[in-house]
Amino acid sequence: NAGVTQTPKFQVLKTGQSMTLQCAQDMNHNSMYWYRQDPGMGLRLIYYSASEGTTDKGEVPNGYNVSRLNKREFSLRLESAAPSQTSVYFCASIKDKNTEAFFGQGTRLTVV
Amino acid sequence: AQSVSQHNHHVILSEAASLELGCNYSYGGTVNLFWYVQYPGQHLQLLLKYFSGDPLVKGIKGFEAEFIKSKFSFNLRKPSVQWSDTAEYFCAVNGYTGGFKTIFGAGTRLFVKA
């Protein structure tokens, strides 16, 4: 049972390049989330998907788009990367409101 | 707006010292409360959670937390820390306000001296 799988683990982009971070969970969870983690700022919610077919903005959505491809997969896209998007990105999933979040291993993204 | 505030950003303790990390939240409606731990180079893992019932909850590795509804607080405690508790600790709240989501505090970095 893999849990939450994120790819890639590391990525370096040039300013203006685009990329998609992939996330998949095999726990049949309903809700999926993308966070970014920056020193001293904790985890900030970028986008979330409460259920298959729905997506909503979180605290810091600017510069990102998401797709809930199916119940298992929730991708995060950077259309035109900026140095301010250098961060560690975590995907998480939750079964329902009375359960905890399960996290992927993270993607360390550097934009130069 | 929903928010979670952690009082200490950095804490340094010696082994066997007692630990208390503060957490306050602002969230309308019924909430669930969590503490997560992140060891160096790893992802977040659940330490303990509160949904309802006894406001004093016990988690893994000797940690416990107390929910005080009147103070909107959920402080984490451990009577005697170990070097292996060196990590970053995050308080989190989830609830439904126009969408179900979990909000995290800024985190507290704990360093335990051997």
The C-alpha of B75 sits at a distance from chain A's nearest C-alpha, in angstroms, of 17
| Among the listed residues A92, A109, A93, the one whose alpha carbon sits nearest the alpha carbon of residue A21 | A109
What pLDDT does residue A40 have?
81
**Residue A41 pLDDT class (50, 70, 90 cuts):** confident
Structure tokens at B25: 């939240």
CATH number at residue B53: 2.60.40.10
Residue A76: predicted pLDDT:
98
Look at residue A65 in the predicted model and tell me its pLDDT.
Answer: 97
pLDDT above 70: percentage of residues in chain B:
95
Q: CB atoms < 10 A from the CB of B111, how many?
A: 12
In chain A, what percentage of residues exceed pLDDT 70?
99
Lowest mean pLDDT segment, chosen from A5-9, B18-22, B99-103: B99-103
Which one of B38, B104, B108 makes the best mutation probe of the A interface by having the most chain A beta carbons within 10 Å?
Answer: B104
Give yes or no for residue B98 having a pLDDT over 60.
no
User: Quick one: pLDDT band at residue A95, thresholds 50, 70, 90?
Assistant: confident
pLDDT of residue A99: 82
By the 10 Å C-beta count (0-12 exposed, 13-18 middle, 19+ buried), B22 is classed as middle
pLDDT for A104: 94
Question: Under an 8 A CB cutoff, do B44 and A105 touch?
Answer: no
Query: What is the number of structural domains in chain B?
Result: 1
| Strands (E) located in A4-106 | 4-7, 10-13, 19-25, 31-38, 42-49, 56-57, 64-68, 74-78, 87-94, 102-103
Check if A79 contacts B (Cβ < 8 Å): no
Residue B8: the pLDDT is 85
Residue among B90, B101, B105 whose CB faces A58 most closely: B101
Range of the structural domain that residue B73 is part of: 3-113
Determine the residue among B60, B100, B108 to mutate to test chain A binding: the one whose Cβ has the most chain A Cβ atoms within 10 Å.
B100
Q: At A99, is the secondary structure helix, strand, or coil?
A: coil
Checking DSSP bridges between strand A107-111 and strand A87-94, what pairing results, if any? antiparallel
Strand partners, B25: B4
Strands A107-111 and A10-13: parallel
Indicate the pLDDT class of residue A1, thresholds 50, 70 and 90. Answer: low
Convert the pLDDT of each residue in A7-39 to its tens digit.
999 999 999 999 999 999 999 999 999 999 998
